[in-house]
Structure 1
Amino acid sequence: MPSYFFVLALASTVFFFAYRPACIFSEADDFTRRRNLWLILTLAAFFSPNFWVYAFIAASLLVYTNRRESNPVALFFFILFVVPDGFVQIPGIGLLEHLFVLSYPKILELIILLPAFFFLRRQGDTPPFGRLWTDKILFGYLLLNVVLFTRDTSITNTVRHTFYLFTGVFLPYFVISRSLKNLPAFRDALFSFVVTTMVLAIIALFEFGKFWLLYTDMLNTLELREAMTFYILRDGMLRVVSAAGHPIILGFILVIGIGFYLFLQRSIPQKFVRLLGLVLLVAGLIVSLSRGPWTGAAVLLIVFFAAGRNPVRRLMVSGFAALITFALLAVLPKGEKLLNLLPYIGTVDQQNIEYRERLITNSMIVIQRNPWFGSTTFLETPEMEAMRQGEGIIDVVNSYLAITLGSGFVGLGLFVGFFTLTLLGIYHAMRSIPDKDSDEYLLGQTLLATLLAILFTITTASSILNAPLVYWSVAGIGVAYAQMILKNPGGNDRPSAAPHP
């Protein structure tokens, strides 16, 4: 059977089990409309002869659906991972080689987030950009990147870079941080993200069991650049990608999905469905065979338990359970194979650890030459050329190193400062909530743990494909949460997000 049959069948299975919880977290009509859009967009991607035809179909469907949407953030999350992230170039005119690059996420940003941005600006209760401290730090970070980008490139490339920063960083942050204003809106948005990550997870499990990447044929037909179409093995096992574009990005997204699910699961009355959802997400994370996200998931759970009720007891129970699990793996027939995959413990792909150590050493040499503002040509230095791998690429598998190499310690300081302020905003908002068993407090606990897990995970991964879009979006959720609690620390359970244009 063709791959699209399995993709649609697996996704439909998730949607079937998600329908009843959807009636709790959002309107049934909204869920049905988003589900149908997901299925049609996926089917169109498999049958389109090229990306331009698909872009036209997708844009037409999105314009029509977006007019009826009550929560654009939830819609954005629900269909974010329909097509693996990859791009095509819009042909240029005359001396211009190309105008911009276009990708599926870029279509969503322009058709869903951009109209929401203009609508929010017209609303009297929307805080203007620049009022919050996170706004100021983010503006400084974006401005620095634009200014530094002009050092070794043309004006047209600078305009392109500014456009990408506006659509891929500013738009998701601003729209999400201003749209989510009450608890039902947060539930709707987080549920939409979790549903789409569950679809990623069930497809990943199928790919792992069948040794078959289901999106390869689609990507070859659409001719998307930077989308992974080749098979990667780890200890003889396939590193699955689903629609995430890369195994590490798949694991990264699933860690966030698990974090959001920790908030939602308490409201799901059916115990079987509640457990099934958690098992699906965890299983998908495991078969990604991505050790950085595995460690990020451990950070997620540690912070989540530490920020909740009875932290010492819950951490001790979790630690004891982990020890028992390791002991069982050590004696089971195939347990040693699993242990060898674990970070810091296993012996599989030790060369990756050595590569990371050399990367840090060589990067520090390059950073010392331009410590404050970095260099746009750092990849051309002899030290970085020495890191070129067999695939012909230089993989800077540490997002903080990549930022420092490109924009120096000033850029790194602004990046870290933005997320630090976001975390502090969440933490102080949680402390102001009198009822520590409330959904408002649990939401803050979840966002705090998820954001810290993200910041840890990107120490082991490049900010490629959808990763930056996702972590800027989660930061926007964190800022929105802090603003919601600041306005009403006693609780806010009134319906709906910011109305849609």
Structure 2
Amino acid sequence: MSNQIKIPIVVFMVVLAAKILLVMMGRKKKEDTEILVLWLLIATVTSLVHSFYVLVLVLIIIKVTYLRNDLGKNVVAFFALWAVIPFHFIIHFPLPSVPLMNATYQRMAFVIWILPLLPKLLDQARMKERRVFFDVPVLYLIAMGIFVAFSEHVGYPITIITSIKEVMQLFMDMVIPYFLIVLWADTWAKLKRVLFAFLLAGIVLSTFGVFEAVFSWNVFTELVFREMIPVSETDKYRAFLRSKAAFPESIAFGIYILITLGIALAVMFRDKKNMMGKLVVVGAMLAALYATQSRGDQIAAVLLLSLYFFFKMQSSSRFILLIFMAIVFSVAGYTYKQQSPAGAGTDLDEVDEHGTFDYRKRLFETELALIPKHPFFGNTTYMKEPSMEALRQGEGIIDPVNTYLTIAVERGLVTLFFFMFFILRSVRACLSYVKYGYAVNNQVWVNLGAALTATVFALSVALIFTSFADTNPPVFWFVMGIARAMQLNLNKMREISRGKDEYDLGYA
């Protein structure tokens, strides 16, 4: 059977399994089925034709015949299909020849589906757009992103065209999707649709990972490595993650599954109905996270589950549990350190199966030593420093694997401050739902707040183990957008309860 036929068959089986899981957890929405059909349609057409232009045509047809000018449908479809498989090896994105962008599937979906509706979105949000857009950390991070786009880079020359491309991609990948969530999801009903869009994508991707592992069918090893080049046993079982099916690296895939796991806890466990199906969904996501073989993602997943139950408790119970958890994690950390390979004497020309702890330690220390040279606004050419060149790996790359340290070195401590403020504000916004839920005796808000607070915490921990590149920045901004939308929704609910509402948001 040819590869072109196998891809649609595999995707059909995955989509069908995802639909079964949705039914098992008690969700029987027509919208979910429509999104899954679109997923199958896009994957089938592109796998048979292998053409970027056909993909664009399919997106246009979907827009004209199904999405049309329905803002809600377009928003849900964009986020639910953002991680659609399997394009990165059928069409080798990004394509640099498209004007004003390095084209990817996600960017083309944004241009065709979302961009034409931005005036409509702004018109609907005109009553509150001023306070939403006057967002100091967001404005600073945008300004710094534009500044970096026009700054000198390592690896390629800077021109006006390349700088404009970077700015356009900054807005298409992160800024506008962030505000899209914040502005559109101004009611609980709309916010819930956004959350389920991400959950739907997470279920499909997790199902695929489990499907491949359980059946020991190395589908993407067979499809991607068409010349049957030698691959290690590890790569055979991680073929989906290694094939750039939707994410360039396994840890990036894991981060996406991580945030959808948190969203699953937020929206599925509002009641105790269909618990078996819900637990199967969570199990599939945990299995997919395990398959990434990424310590960072696995640690973050454990933290997410722990914090989820922790934040669901009354504040009076948390203190006792906090002490207990501190003892347990200290013992576990000490034991893990004693049993882990030391990494001493590691050859820096190779990355061994243990992740070269010694290499990462030296990289951390070297980057830390560079911060005092440009403390406030960083240095975009820091990789040219002799101390960094000494850490270049066998593939000729230097992979800065700590997001926070990289931001401090490349963009300065001021940027790191606003980045951390962005995260902490999101934590506070989500945690407010827990307090509000207990205040009004509503477990739906408690569960929502606890799950998404844990998600933001887990995401912030996962970023310690990876660089802020590829798909990680958009996913980060998506989560921050959800938290910001929650904050604004809660503010409106409180205003409604005090009788100070300016316009009805539909909570009644």
Q: TM-score range by the shorter chain?
A: 0.7 to 0.9
Partner of 2:208: 203
Partner of 1:13: 17
Q: State how far apart, in whole Å, the 2-side matches of 1:6 and 1:370 are.
A: 51
Of 84, 88, 104, the residue aligned with 2:94 is 88
Partner of 1:364: 368
Kindly provide the amino acid, as one letter, of the partner of residue 11 in structure 2: V
| Structure 1 residue ranges without an equivalent (≥5) | 93-97, 222-228, 327-339
What is the correspondence of 1:375-414 to structure 2 with a 5 Å cutoff? 375-414=379-418
Kindly provide the amino acid, as one letter, of the partner of residue 70 in structure 1: G
Measured after TM superposition, the shift of residue 73 of structure 1 is 3.4
What is the correspondence of 1:348-497 to structure 2 with a 5 Å cutoff? 349-433=353-437, 434-489=439-494
Of 263, 267, 278, the residue aligned with 2:266 is 263
SS at match of 2:95: strand
Q: Considering only aligned residues, what root-mean-square deviation do their CA atoms show, in Å? A: 3.5
Measured after TM superposition, the shift of residue 250 of structure 1 is 1.7
Give the direction of change, closer, same or farther, for the CA distance of 1:383–1:211 in structure 2 (3 Å limit).
Answer: farther
What is the correspondence of 1:240-389 to structure 2 with a 5 Å cutoff? 240-241=240-241, 243-266=246-269, 267=271, 269-309=273-313, 311-312=317-318, 346-347=340-341, 349-389=353-393
Contact 2:56 2:108 in 1 (8 A): yes
Give the direction of change, closer, same or farther, for the CA distance of 1:119–1:21 in structure 2 (3 Å limit).
Answer: farther
SS at match of 2:150: helix
Cα offsets for 1:197-244 (capped at 9, x unmatched) = 1211121123335666645687789xxxxxxx9967659964641543
Measured after TM superposition, the shift of residue 278 of structure 1 is 1.5
Partner of 2:349: none
Give the direction of change, closer, same or farther, for the CA distance of 1:118–1:213 in structure 2 (3 Å limit).
Answer: farther
Kindly provide the amino acid, as one letter, of the partner of residue 263 in structure 2: F
What is the correspondence of 1:116-135 to structure 2 with a 5 Å cutoff? 116-124=117-125, 126-128=127-129, 131=132, 135=135
Q: State how far apart, in whole Å, the 2-side matches of 1:145 and 1:184 are.
A: 33
* Deviating more after overlay: 235-244 vs 107-116: 235-244
Give the direction of change, closer, same or farther, for the CA distance of 1:30–1:351 in structure 2 (3 Å limit).
Answer: closer
- The alignment status of 1:151 with 2:157, answered yes or no, reads no
| TM-score normalised by L of structure 1 | 0.81
Q: State how far apart, in whole Å, the 1-side matches of 2:80 and 2:324 are.
A: 32
Contact 1:396 1:402 in 2 (8 A): yes
Give the direction of change, closer, same or farther, for the CA distance of 1:197–1:429 in structure 2 (3 Å limit).
Answer: closer
Structure number with the bigger relative contact order (C-alpha 8 A, sep ≥ 6) is 1
Contact 1:215 1:243 in 2 (8 A): no
Contact 1:11 1:199 in 2 (8 A): yes
Partner of 1:337: none
Give the direction of change, closer, same or farther, for the CA distance of 1:304–1:40 in structure 2 (3 Å limit).
Answer: same
Cα offsets for 1:275-311 (capped at 9, x unmatched) = 2112111111111211101111122122222211255
Measured after TM superposition, the shift of residue 357 of structure 1 is 0.7
Cα offsets for 1:241-268 (capped at 9, x unmatched) = 1543321112111111211111222247
What is the correspondence of 1:70-109 to structure 2 with a 5 Å cutoff? 70-83=72-85, 87-91=93-97, 99-109=100-110
Measured after TM superposition, the shift of residue 352 of structure 1 is 2.6
Contact 2:402 2:464 in 1 (8 A): yes
Runs of 4+ aligned structure 1 residues displaced above 6 Å come to 216-221, 316-320, 494-497
Partner of 1:141: 141
SS at match of 2:111: helix
Contact 2:218 2:239 in 1 (8 A): no
Partner of 2:58: 57
Contact 1:251 1:285 in 2 (8 A): yes
Measured after TM superposition, the shift of residue 14 of structure 1 is 1.1
Kindly provide the amino acid, as one letter, of the partner of residue 398 in structure 2: I
Contact 1:305 1:315 in 2 (8 A): no
- The alignment status of 1:41 with 2:37, answered yes or no, reads no
Q: State how far apart, in whole Å, the 2-side matches of 1:460 and 1:126 are.
A: 41
Q: State how far apart, in whole Å, the 2-side matches of 1:473 and 1:308 are.
A: 23
Measured after TM superposition, the shift of residue 55 of structure 1 is 2.9
Kindly provide the amino acid, as one letter, of the partner of residue 459 in structure 2: I
Cα offsets for 1:349-390 (capped at 9, x unmatched) = 345322211111111233332222122222222222222222
Identity of aligned residues (%): 22
SS at match of 1:443: helix
* Deviating more after overlay: 41-50 vs 118-127: 118-127
Kindly provide the amino acid, as one letter, of the partner of residue 414 in structure 1: F
SS at match of 2:101: strand
Contact 2:266 2:449 in 1 (8 A): no
Give the direction of change, closer, same or farther, for the CA distance of 1:56–1:483 in structure 2 (3 Å limit).
Answer: same
Partner of 2:347: none
- The alignment status of 1:170 with 2:175, answered yes or no, reads yes
Contact 1:239 1:247 in 2 (8 A): no
Give the direction of change, closer, same or farther, for the CA distance of 1:215–1:462 in structure 2 (3 Å limit).
Answer: farther
Cα offsets for 1:46-93 (capped at 9, x unmatched) = 11223333233234324533225634432222211113556233427x
Measured after TM superposition, the shift of residue 22 of structure 1 is 6.7
* Deviating more after overlay: 268-277 vs 357-366: 268-277
Partner of 2:155: none
* Deviating more after overlay: 356-365 vs 474-483: 356-365
Give the direction of change, closer, same or farther, for the CA distance of 1:344–1:201 in structure 2 (3 Å limit).
Answer: farther
Partner of 2:30: 29
Give the direction of change, closer, same or farther, for the CA distance of 1:380–1:207 in structure 2 (3 Å limit).
Answer: farther
Give the direction of change, closer, same or farther, for the CA distance of 1:292–1:220 in structure 2 (3 Å limit).
Answer: same
Kindly provide the amino acid, as one letter, of the partner of residue 75 in structure 2: V
| TM-score normalised by L of structure 2 | 0.80
SS at match of 1:122: helix
Kindly provide the amino acid, as one letter, of the partner of residue 182 in structure 1: T
SS at match of 2:50: coil
Contact 2:401 2:467 in 1 (8 A): yes
